[in-house]
Amino acid sequence: MTSTPADVHPAWLPSAAWRAVGVRRVHVRGDGPLVATARDEVRAATAAHGGTVVDDPAAADLLLTVDPAVEGDEAFVVGRRDRVTSVRAAGGAALLHGLHHVVRQGDDALGSDRADERHAPVQPVRMLDHWDNMTVHPVMGQVERGYAGGSIFYADGRVRDDLTRVEQYARLLGSVGINAVGLNNVNVHVTEARLLTDHLDGVVRLAGAFRPHGIRVYLSVSFAAPMTVGGLPASDPLDPDVQAWWADAVARVYAAVPDFGGFVVKADSEGQPGPFAYGRDHADGANLLARALKPFGGTVFWRAFVYDHHQDWRDRSTDRARAAHDHFAPLDGRFDDNVVLQVKYGPMDFQTREPVSPVIAAMARTRLAVELQVTQEYTGQQRHAVWLGPQWSEILRFRLWGDTGPTVADVAAGSADAPAGGVVAVSNVGDDEFWTGHPLAQANLYTFARLAWDPSADPVALLDEWIGLTFPDAPPSVGDTVHGILDGSWRTYEDYTAPLGVGFMVRPGHHYGPDVDGYEYTPWGTYHFADRDGIGVDRTRATGTGFTGQYPAPWRDVYEDVTTCPDDLLLFFHHVPWSHELHSGVSVAQHVYDTHWAGAARTEVNAAAWERLAGQVPADLHARVTERLAEQVRGAHEWRDQLCTYVYRHSGIPDARGRRIY
C-alpha cells in the first residue's frame, strides 16, 4: 500500500480498501521482486491500520507463501482454516494476485473458514495499449483518442524524468491482473519510431516502473522503421537487409530490457506503412518481426484493422465491414507461432453496438487476441458516464458458432491448434488527477481488467466490487447512486445516439456529438444510406454486400433474414423502410423517437441523483462528476433532437406521442 501522490485520486486502492488486511498479523514468504512488492504493500497497509508483519508464520493470521507446488504461473490457492487465511502461489506474480484477491474480498476472506479455492487467469495475456505520443498533436492532443489529459509516460518529446505517476498506474494495473502494456500509439510518428533506438533508455525506465507489478512492456513500431530510422532504401519484409536491421534492433532492445514483451503493429491501415507496398501480404509482414523477436521469446501483436479508407461513397460494392476478413482469413495457418492477430471486436470500429467480428471465427490456426476500447472514443469520450462492462461481457461470451460452440473468450484463450492470444484494450488513462477525466470512467478500466482475467465473471458484480473499493467508507446511498448511474448506462447511451446498430452519425474527426450525415459522403466507408424511404446497410448475401456470408452458421442465416436479425443490429445488416416493424412491435421511426426521449430523460435522472450526494463524497470528485453529468444531459438532448428531427424530416412519420420535433 505505497502512497499515491496527494493530488492524484487513489482509484480503487484507497488506504481504507486495505483495512481488512492492514489490521492483521501477516507473514509473507518468498523471494524476488514481485514478492518484495507484495511485502511492501503489506507493510504499508499494516502500518496504516495497526496490524503487523510477522517473521514467525505460526503467529500470522494471514499467510502469503510462494509454493512451487501450485500449478500455473499465475495461479494461487486461497482458503481459511483455524483462523488463518492462507494464500499459496506459484510465484511472485501469482502471490501479488492472491494478495489483491484478499484485499478485494476483505473481511469475507478473513472472517469465517473457507475451503481452498484455486484462482488462475483465463487469459494469459491481459493487455492495455496506450495511444500515447511523445509530442502533442495540434488537433488530437498528446494521447490519440485520449480524454484524460496528456500522457503519463512522456513530456517534451521524451520519457518523463519523474515516473511517479507511472509507478502508481502500474500498481493499479497490477492489482487487477493486467500483465502487458503497449507504451505508444499504434499510429507511429517520427519521434515515437525512435523509442526503439534513441529513446531506448526511456523504455528501460518505463519497463522498470512496470516490472515490480508483473507487467511487461511492448512498443508500437512502424513497418517503415528500417527506412525512417535505419536509413535503408526499403522495408520489404523479404529483403535480407531489412531482416537483419530488425534482428539487430530487437537484439539491442532485449539487451536493455530482457523481459521486453514485443511489438504492436498497425500496418497498411489508415496511412500506416505496411507490406502491401512491396506486393507482400500481412503474413510476410508479421513473420518478419516475429522472426526477429523469436530468439528472445517476444511476440508480435499484428492488428487486423486493415481497410480502404479512400473509398468512393458512390461505390456500393465495397463494404468496410468485410475488409478484415477478406484480408486475413485467407492467411490462416501462415503466421508464425509468436504472431498474435489482434482483431477489433467488431467489423467496423469500436461502435456502441456492432456484431462480433467474423474474423474471430475464421482463423482456427492463428493465435487471436480480441481488441476492446476502454477509452470511450465513440461512447461519450469520458464526458458521458458510459460503463462498458456489459458490452465487453456480451462480446467475450458471444458464441460465433451458436449455442454449443466456443465463446469469443474461448478463442482468445487458445486451442490445440493456436495458443492463446489474449484480450487487449485501448487504455483510457492520462495525467488527469482522476486518471480518466470522468472519475466514473475508472470503472471501465477496472472492469476490463477483471473481465480479461475471467471473462465469465458477472459484470454487475464487478461494478459493485469496484464501487466497494473506490468508495469504502461512503454511506450506502453513494454506492446505490453510482450503481444506478452506471448499470444500464451503455443502453442509455445507445438509446440516445445512433440507433439499431447503424453506427457512426458522430461529428467527423473528433467523433463527439451528433452529425447524422457527417460521414455519409466521405471516403471512410461508414454510411447509413438514409433517404425518405428508409435507412440501414444491406449486408445480406441475397441483395447486399454479402458480409453475412463471412459468419459461420447459425449467424450467417440469423443475420441474413430480416425477420430473425436481432433488433439491436437491424440497421447494421439491413436497409429497411422507416415504417418497418421491429420485434419490439414499433416502427423504426417510432423506435428512434421513443428511445431517444427515454435515454435523454435518464441522463437527467442521473444528474439529479448525483446532485444529492453532495457532501457524501469528496468535493472535488463531486464537482467533476457533476460537471460531466451536466454535459451528458446537454449532449443527450442534442442527440435526441437531431436524431428525432432527422428521422421525421426524412420519413414524414410523426411521433405517435406527439413530442416536440424541430
Q: Which is nearer to ligand GCU, 263 or 610 (CB)?
A: 263
Q: How far is the CB of 470 from ligand GCU (least distance, A)?
A: 29
Q: How far is the CB of 65 from ligand GCU (least distance, A)?
A: 43
- Contact pattern from residue 376 through residue 405 relative to ligand GCU, giving x for each residue in contact according to CB under 6 A and a dash for the rest: -x----------------------------
Q: Which is nearer to ligand GCU, 185 or 489 (CB)?
A: 185
Q: How far is the CB of 427 from ligand GCU (least distance, A)?
A: 13
Q: Which is nearer to ligand GCU, 142 or 606 (CB)?
A: 142
Q: Which is nearer to ligand GCU, 425 or 576 (CB)?
A: 425
Q: Where are the alpha helices (DSSP H) in 471-543?
A: 476-486, 489-496
# binding residues, ligand GCU (CB under 6 A)? 9
Q: How far is the CB of 641 from ligand GCU (least distance, A)?
A: 26
**Residues 216 and 177 sit within 8 Å (Cβ to Cβ):** no
Q: Which is nearer to ligand GCU, 23 or 323 (CB)?
A: 323
**349 catalytic residue (yes or no):** yes
Give CA–CA dist 62/53, Å, rounded.
10
Q: How far is the CB of 132 from ligand GCU (least distance, A)?
A: 12
**433 catalytic residue (yes or no):** no
Q: How far is the CB of 348 from ligand GCU (least distance, A)?
A: 9
Q: How far is the CB of 599 from ligand GCU (least distance, A)?
A: 24
Q: How far is the CB of 193 from ligand GCU (least distance, A)?
A: 16
| Backbone angles phi and psi of 619, in degrees to 5 | -60, -40
- 295 contact partners, CB below 8 Å, separation of at least 6: none
Closest CA to 222 of 204, 249, 241: 249
Q: Which is nearer to ligand GCU, 61 or 144 (CB)?
A: 144
Q: Is 140 exposed, middle or buried (0-12, 13-18, 19+ CB in 10 A)?
A: middle
Sites for ligand GCU among residues 300-319 (CB under 6 A):
305
Q: Which is nearer to ligand GCU, 305 or 648 (CB)?
A: 305
Unique residue bearing C-alpha cell 495461479: 75
Q: Which is nearer to ligand GCU, 350 or 490 (CB)?
A: 350
Can residue 447 be called a binding residue for ligand GCU (CB under 6 A)?
A: no
The 10 Å Cβ neighbour count of residue 631 is 17
- The helix (H) or strand (E) run that includes residue 577 is strand 576-577
**Residues 492 and 599 sit within 8 Å (Cβ to Cβ):** yes
The 10 Å Cβ neighbour count of residue 420 is 18
Distance separating the N- and C-terminal Cα atoms of the chain: 55
Percent of the chain as helix, strand, coil, to the nearest 5: 40, 15, 45
SS3 395: helix
Determine which one of 270, 312, 480, 620 is catalytic.
Answer: 270
Q: How far is the CB of 518 from ligand GCU (least distance, A)?
A: 14
**Dihedral sign for Cα atoms in the order 643, 645, 646, 650:** positive
**Residues 255 and 262 sit within 8 Å (Cβ to Cβ):** no
E-strand ranges in 381-515 read: 422-426
Closest CA to 381 of 606, 600, 152, 148: 148
Q: How far is the CB of 395 from ligand GCU (least distance, A)?
A: 16
Q: How far is the CB of 452 from ligand GCU (least distance, A)?
A: 18
* Of positions 74, 132, 192, 349, contacts ligand GCU by CB under 6 A: 349
Sites for ligand GCU among residues 186-205 (CB under 6 A):
186-187
Q: Is 645 exposed, middle or buried (0-12, 13-18, 19+ CB in 10 A)?
A: middle
Can residue 354 be called a binding residue for ligand GCU (CB under 6 A)?
A: no
Can residue 266 be called a binding residue for ligand GCU (CB under 6 A)?
A: yes
Q: Which is nearer to ligand GCU, 270 or 531 (CB)?
A: 270
Give CA–CA dist 177/15, Å, rounded.
19
Closest CA to 600 of 546, 644, 564, 538: 644
Q: Which is nearer to ligand GCU, 186 or 565 (CB)?
A: 186
Q: State the DSSP code for 405.
A: S
Q: Where are the alpha helices (DSSP H) in 213-267?
A: 225-228, 240-256
Closest CA to 9 of 495, 486, 437, 592: 437
Give CA–CA dist 576/531, Å, rounded.
11
**Residues 499 and 358 sit within 8 Å (Cβ to Cβ):** no
DSSP conformation letters of 133-161: EEEEETTTEEETT--SSS-SSEETTEE-S
Sites for ligand GCU among residues 133-162 (CB under 6 A):
144-145
Residue 92 is which amino acid?
G
Q: State the DSSP code for 587.
A: B
Q: Which is nearer to ligand GCU, 386 or 629 (CB)?
A: 386
- Contact pattern from residue 159 through residue 188 relative to ligand GCU, giving x for each residue in contact according to CB under 6 A and a dash for the rest: ---------------------------xx-
Q: Is 134 exposed, middle or buried (0-12, 13-18, 19+ CB in 10 A)?
A: buried
**270 catalytic residue (yes or no):** yes
Determine which one of 41, 61, 132, 349 is catalytic.
Answer: 349
Determine which one of 236, 377, 432, 494 is catalytic.
Answer: 377
DSSP conformation letters of 29-95: E--SHHHHHHHHHHHHHHHHHT-EE-S-GGG-SEEEEE-TTS-STT-EEEEEETTEEEEEESSHHHH
Annotated catalytic residues are 270, 349, 377
Residues that bind ligand GCU in the complex, under the rule CB under 6 A: 144-145, 186-187, 266, 270, 305, 349, 377
